[in-house]
Amino acid sequence: MAPGPVETTEKQETETVAPKKLPKGVVLGPDGKPCRSCTDVSSWFAMSKSSGSTSKPAKPPRDCPPDVSALGRSSWTLLHSITATYPVQPTPDLQSETASFLRTFGKLYPCWVCAEDFQTWMTQNTPRVSSRSEFGQWMCEAHNAVNVKLGKKEFDCAKWEERWRTGWKDGRCDP
């Protein structure tokens, strides 16, 4: 998502003002302002502390907009839950709609950096939606690609269905 054209007066202002040093983890949006959806809450609060504000709590109230971590966790939960309930043998129409949903999801995702990364990843890894098994494996691979970028541990994709559909074999998810 590239920024739109800049008017002359705005461009002149931008050229004369030196950029402020931002804390690590603060991502700027296409408008040049910090992007709440792309920045984790600790970086957001570090930014407000560096601007002299001391009245902010250490953690935001639960009813504040999600940061990039909360948004990611919620999104992966939704996407994996969709794969877990996807038909074993989906119709051609559902396969087409699912691929379209994933492309649209990649365009509408609130964190523009994450959205662009997902769109790029999908150009090289076309969504595999011809069966539940194939879709679940593809989604796990997509999630692992993000985990690698973030320096997190990869998930064993052989266990995706146990994690997101049937529950763990040791019974800890059973009532």
CB distance 130 to 15 below 8 Å:
no
Assess whether pLDDT exceeds 50 at residue 106.
Answer: yes
pLDDT attached to residue 158? 97
Per-chain mean pLDDT for the chain: 83
Sign of CA dihedral 107, 94, 70, 137: negative
Tokens of 173: 């998810």
Assess whether pLDDT exceeds 50 at residue 175.
Answer: yes
pTM of the model: 0.75
Pairwise CA distance, residues 132 & 174, whole Å: 22
Delimit the domains of the chain by residue range: 68-165
Nearest partner of 113 among 25, 7, 53, 14, judged by Cα: 25
Q: Which CATH superfamily is domain 68-165 in?
A: ERV/ALR sulfhydryl oxidase domain (1.20.120.310)
The residue that leads in pLDDT, 38 or 149, is 149
Residue 27: strand, helix, or coil: coil
Residue 57: strand, helix, or coil: coil
pLDDT level of residue 108 (50, 70, 90 thresholds): very high
Q: What is the DSSP secondary structure assignment for residue 175, as one 8-state letter? A: -
Pairwise CA distance, residues 121 & 14, whole Å: 33
Tokens of 84: 């877990």
**Arithmetic mean of pLDDT, 30-40:** 75
Instruction: Write the CA distances from 101 to 64, 66, 95, 126, integer angstroms.
Output: 27, 22, 10, 13
| 112-148 pLDDT, tens digit each | 999 999 999 999 999 999 999 999 999 999 999 999 9
Report residue 78 CA to chain centroid gap: 11
What proportion of the chain, given as a percentage, has pLDDT over 90? 58
Long-range contacts of 10-15 (CB under 8 A, 24+ apart): none
**Arithmetic mean of pLDDT, 88-108:** 98
Pairwise CA distance, residues 105 & 50, whole Å: 34
